[in-house]
Amino acid sequence: MGIFGKKDTGIFQRLKDEHREVNSLLDQIEALGGEDMQEAKDIFAVMQEKLLAHAKGEEMVVYPRFGQIESLHELVLEAKEEHQIVEDLLAKLNADELEDNEWMAALKVLKEQIQHHVKEEEGEIFPRAKDEIEARESEQLATVYLESKGEATEEEPGESLESLSKADLLVKARELGIESYSRMTKAELIQILSVRR
């Protein structure tokens, strides 16, 4: 809560809330302990959708503004590199070749990488950015950020299903309410999505 009990609607609180949401989903997957891999992968698909939208929104809106702050320039570059590491780990987790125990190990590495990234953002980047960004601008950034997240996850015009990753196809299948989508191969997802679009 902000001053006088008003909910904080600025960019810093928005990003922190999303960090907590992603971490909660990762905790849910870990709590399954590899016992129900189908449920774990279903939760993973939801977490991945939220995480990728968050990262793209940061890269499109937040980091350009934070990068204008001289003391944050290097940290913002580092944060962008960390996003790439997370995307590489997500791709590995979406590969069908991992055994269940390998998948859970890769998920643990992903969680540790995300936690490191969040600690740096919330512990180093946000406090410095707050010194430069007033409440009104913070709220404006949050609005533009939310708008960009919607754009960041939408299909580009002319983008073919074949060019999408399996993770993107899983998100689309879930959004369309396709049953048993998480058990499908990439080819099966492309086939059913081309009919249901």
On average, the pLDDT of the chain sits at 86
Same domain, residue pair 86 and 181:
no
Residue 79 · residue 125 · CB < 8 Å: yes
- Asked if 89 and 111 sit in the same domain, the reply is yes
Identify the pLDDT of residue 196. 64
Are both 7 and 80 inside the same structural domain? Answer: yes
Structural domain span for residue 172: 160-197
Q: Are residues 63 and 23 in the same domain?
A: yes
For 119, residues 6+ apart whose C-beta sits below 8 A from its C-beta are none
How many beta carbons lie within 10 A of that of residue 55, not counting itself? 22
Same domain, 165 and 147: no
| 13-30 pLDDT per residue, tens | 999 999 999 999 999 999
Same domain, yes or no, for 13 and 104? yes
Coil, helix or strand at residue 32: coil
Residues 69 and 15 in one domain: yes
pLDDT tens string 106-163:
999 999 999 999 999 999 999 999 999 999 999 999 999 998 887 544 444 445 777 7
Residues 100 and 124 in one domain: yes
Q: Are residues 94 and 140 in the same domain?
A: yes
Same domain assignment for residues 55 and 140: yes
Note the pLDDT of residue 2: 47
Q: Is the pTM of this model over 0.85?
A: no
Q: What is residue 159's predicted lDDT score, i.e. its pLDDT?
A: 58
145 and 183 together in one domain: no
Question: Which residue is it, tokens 């125990």?
Answer: 101
What does the block give as tokens for 13? 């609180």
How many degrees, rounded to 5, is the angle at CA 115 between CA 54 and CA 20?
Answer: 55
- For the chain, how many structural domains are there in total? 2
**What CA–CA distance (Å, rounded) separates 177 from 135?**
39
Q: What is the 3-state secondary structure (H, E, C) of 55-71?
A: HHHHHHHHHHHHCCCHH
Same domain, 170 and 96: no
- Quick: pLDDT tens for 57-112: 999 999 999 999 999 999 999 999 999 999 999 999 998 788 999 999 999 999 99
CATH number at residue 15: 1.20.120.520
